[in-house]
Structure 1
Amino acid sequence: MKKFRRYLSTLSIIFLILLLVFQSKNLWLSFDTKDKNTKTVEDVNEFLKEILTPQRIVANLGDREHYMTTDLSEYWKKTAQDISEKLQKATSDNLKLIDTEEYLNLQKKKSIVFKFSSPLSGSVFVNLIGDNRNSNDINLSVDSIYISDLGEIYISGIKNFYKLMDIKVDFPIDDIIDEVKEKGIRSINFYEAYGIKKDIYIPDEDYISLQKVSYISGLYNLEEDKKSTLAERFLNVPIDYIREITVDGKNTYIYENEYLSLSYDGMIEYSLESLFDVKARDLNKSLNRAVEFIAQKTGISSGIYLEKIEPCNYNENLGYRFYFNLKDGQIPLVLPSKEHSFIEIDVYSEFVKNYREYYIRKDDNPIYKKEKIYLKKIHKIINKNKDLFKNNSTMDILNSIENLNLVYLIFSDVKAAEPTLAYEILYMGNIYYFDTETGNLMMVR
């Protein structure tokens, strides 16, 4: 009889967990398209792997023959563990620095390259992709991982390039190359296009096919019962114990030393005002806690990536501020604001001091179809906007470009609006956004 009771108790717990997952999916809409499997939060490790998925994969077949796609999650799932295990063996002794020209010439050989939206700390990368949280002496940033057809590994980050000596991956890349070629967009790099020795890829086609979708504030016209559910989840008590204040379109919920505010324009803000004592920084523990908090409180299990990490202080306590941004597929979504990312969270070991999220969701009636978007050539866009760059020559401007990506810009909040595909160009410390079709300047940061 006791065993039967324990069995019923276990079933009840499982049921409650499934119910929680189901409720979170009803409140927080997935950023994945409808034709893909809905993801649920399984554990912190799985979410971290999702967060650290590269933005795109490049298949190199030869000189001026490269194919690039953002549809790469299946390839990353197959290879990430192996890559992590190999990178965990990297030390200052077996990383050989190579020059830029040598690395660019490697792009002419059969290979694949995983490229990230922003550089990640090497130690954070290898510890969070793999199952082991071990220490290593890698002191570099990782923004690209190159795998040759012989399994050789090259790492690039912040203008430096390295070969991992005497260590190779175990998986073949032929099938990946064939599939990326089939569905990717043909591309060339700056070296091939302009003779500029930079690891920057640009489309070599006139059009790109992307899913058409609209976004809207996730809190605009949100029902009161769902706001209460959100408050209960953040403050971890029933709504009857929570004090609520509503002023000028903002709902503020208070329980003891915790505060949550929800604004109609989509801003979620949480703060913890109780005392704590954290005198030493622990990056892995803080990042684990940040991801756990996001998963538990918001139900988000996909569609975000880690943009950057900064140390922060509060009353002599030491922690980290993590910046997360959203992506549609693997294309980053960029706010027209200079102040913040989609998610900012301050964590001091296991304590979350502040959380801020600009919550948007896909429109209730999106059109799930692909559309062709024209891609104006980069040099033509630069030539059109020379006045922005002190009328320097086009080649001088191209030479000074530090990075270039395709991103989505979102300019609406309470009304549904389609994001605009734009080139994000890092030039002389500023970030310029140009409409890919017209070449017009959209925003400068």
Structure 2
Amino acid sequence: MRERIKTFLLISLVGISLLFTKRLWIELPNEMLDVFSRRNETYKTSYLLSDMIIPNKYLVNFSDKNHTIFYDDSKHGLWTNSRKILNGILRLKDVKVVELPNDEFLTYNGKRSISFYFPNKINTYILAKALDVKEPNLIVDTIPNINNIYVYLGEGDSFFVFSDGEKHIAIYDESIDVASLTQQVSMIEESGNYNFYHSMRDYYRFDNDIYVTNNDMKNPLPTVYVENEIRNLDEKEKEKLAEKFLNIGIDYIGEIGENNGSTIYRYNQRVLKLNVNGTLEYFHPLEQAVKKRNLYQSLITAAEFISKSAGVQKGMYLAKVEEIKIDDSFGYNLTFRYRVRGIPIILGNEMVDFVQIEVFNDHVRSYKHFIRKDMNKSVDKDINKPVDNIPSGGKMLSSFDVIDRNIDFIVQKYLEENNIISESQEDLDIKEKVLSSSFIQDITLSYFDPCLKDIEDELIGVWVIKTNKGLYAFDIYNGSLVYEKN
């Protein structure tokens, strides 16, 4: 009897050992699948609708003469702290809504406040869903699309304004509590550690609502080097990436190596191409026609695809949503851009954008991702680039300095875009007319990536001037034109 018990215990122990060994071999590879997580700590595992729909510019108004602009929320958390308040506003049943005249709204940035600017108009209902509002209120019907959210932080009752550029809806309710935002703005002002901006309307008496700097920049841009991450992947890392995108083991995936060093992986109708220039391309043709597009479903699908297959790079945000039709199917082309050190990037060398993804409701037809890594943040011990290297010697020009140095060029572009021949560029009236018009739509501090080198490609700090039909990037140290796109 005793021997039988020993034998049973021995068999049980062997069985348990085999079970744990099996589980170990199943679980360990799953922890190692994310190639980019292993190589670059800026990647994370999930991407949500709330990560997609975020402002790309934050205008903080301390007073009518004192403003600043941020391009990233990670340091001050202004948008993060606003999301909970917005969640409450968009679910209120008896919220008070008042339409503001345009002239009145233009004066509001002269009061203590924050303006959140989105890269393009966003659907207000989608914004509400991104903020986890299950049943949005009448606001989403009153103003279906917005590109700006204004938060009043001055004396008296606080309120929000939703604006699409032409229509401005003020929202009032006793429950609105902006104490955390008020405190944060006060802390920023007291620190004095920000670049000072002025309204061209108020400071220069131009009929223009663009904000510019006209003095020394307190926070110069550090030197940043980037590298082509795909070129530096080894064979095993490429195979793991192919397994993630094609969702099957490498033994079932066909591989084709091209003469230029690019690699194509194929499984059934799905194709993944790792281009030697640093671009990853995925294609999966539609299996059936999509007769009715659904933006919310398409955004959720894109978020899940990016989380599962592509990996999420810190600083990426949804910049553009375009309706598309391919054959008899209706969907969306989503464009994502990204930031380095909190500063937006524009790409050169005919690269279109950071990420482009075609989505047809629950199906991702194509995905294109230009992958560049900040070498300064690299964990590679052989890379000796300092993390916060600030260029010495050169003085960073203000945005108004760049406008002033390039005013003749700007006037010429104005004349070309408006098909004007008779005006003289030397005429002071035409220069003032250009600066007072809506020709200059935006001025943004950015990095320009030349996209010319696979390693140690230095980003160029630029002031980007966006006009009605063009985009022009000027070096922040000498004011010279380094890039233009029409």
Question: TM-score under structure 1 normalisation?
Answer: 0.86
Q: 2:432 maps to what in 1?
A: 395
Does the 8 Å CA contact 1:215/1:416 hold for their aligned counterparts? Answer: yes
Does the 8 Å CA contact 2:335/2:355 hold for their aligned counterparts? Answer: yes
Does the 8 Å CA contact 2:90/2:133 hold for their aligned counterparts? Answer: no
CA 1:397/1:168 → structure 2, altered by over 3 Å: closer, same or farther?
farther
Provide the aligned length of Structure 1 versus Structure 2.
Answer: 429
1:381 partner letter: V
* Alpha-carbon distance in structure 2 between the residues aligned to 1:432 and 1:167: 45
Q: 2:303 maps to what in 1?
A: 291
Deviates more, 1:156-165 or 1:176-185: 156-165
Does the 8 Å CA contact 1:272/1:352 hold for their aligned counterparts? Answer: yes
How far off is 1:13 after superposition?
12
Q: 2:403 maps to what in 1?
A: 382
Does the 8 Å CA contact 1:53/1:305 hold for their aligned counterparts? Answer: yes
1:368 partner letter: V
* Alpha-carbon distance in structure 2 between the residues aligned to 1:26 and 1:301: 13
| 1:122 equivalent in alignment to 2:132 | no
| Map 1:219-258 → 2, pairs under 5 A | 219-247=230-258, 248-258=260-270
Does the 8 Å CA contact 2:201/2:208 hold for their aligned counterparts? Answer: yes
Deviations 1:29-53 (A, max 9, x none): 244xxxxxxx7334x43xx323333
Does the 8 Å CA contact 2:33/2:244 hold for their aligned counterparts? Answer: no
| 1:175 equivalent in alignment to 2:180 | no
How far off is 1:374 after superposition?
3.8
Identical amino acids, percent of aligned pairs? 22
Q: 1:442 maps to what in 2?
A: 482
2:448 equivalent among 404, 409, 418: 409
Does the 8 Å CA contact 2:123/2:145 hold for their aligned counterparts? Answer: yes
How far off is 1:409 after superposition?
0.6
1:286 partner letter: S
How far off is 1:103 after superposition?
2.4
How far off is 1:353 after superposition?
0.5
How far off is 1:190 after superposition?
1.7
- Partner secondary structure for residue 196 of structure 2: strand
* Alpha-carbon distance in structure 1 between the residues aligned to 2:25 and 2:54: 32
Does the 8 Å CA contact 1:75/1:176 hold for their aligned counterparts? Answer: yes
- Partner secondary structure for residue 312 of structure 2: coil
Deviations 1:284-318 (A, max 9, x none): 11011111111211221532011100111223111
- Partner secondary structure for residue 458 of structure 2: coil
2:236 partner letter: D
Q: 1:132 maps to what in 2?
A: 134
* Alpha-carbon distance in structure 1 between the residues aligned to 2:144 and 2:293: 17
Q: 1:36 maps to what in 2?
A: none
How far off is 1:24 after superposition?
4.6
* Alpha-carbon distance in structure 2 between the residues aligned to 1:229 and 1:318: 32
Computing the radius of gyration from Cα coordinates, the structure with the larger value is 2
| 1:199 equivalent in alignment to 2:209 | yes
Deviates more, 1:406-415 or 1:329-338: 329-338
How far off is 1:398 after superposition?
1.7
Q: 1:162 maps to what in 2?
A: 169
Does the 8 Å CA contact 1:86/1:167 hold for their aligned counterparts? Answer: no
Deviations 1:404-439 (A, max 9, x none): 211111003413222112122122321111112211
- Partner secondary structure for residue 264 of structure 1: coil
Deviates more, 1:373-382 or 1:16-25: 16-25
1:311 partner letter: E
Q: 1:63 maps to what in 2?
A: 64
Does the 8 Å CA contact 1:56/1:330 hold for their aligned counterparts? Answer: no
How far off is 1:91 after superposition?
11
Unaligned runs of 5+ in 1: 32-38
The structure with the largest strand share of the pair is: 1
Q: 2:276 maps to what in 1?
A: 264
Deviations 1:228-277 (A, max 9, x none): 11111100111111000111221000001100100111011111135223
1:427 partner letter: T
CA 1:424/1:95 → structure 2, altered by over 3 Å: closer, same or farther?
farther
1:389 partner letter: V
How far off is 1:325 after superposition?
0.7
Q: 1:214 maps to what in 2?
A: 225
* Alpha-carbon distance in structure 2 between the residues aligned to 1:267 and 1:342: 9
* Alpha-carbon distance in structure 2 between the residues aligned to 1:145 and 1:17: 48
How far off is 1:401 after superposition?
1.1
How far off is 1:155 after superposition?
2.6
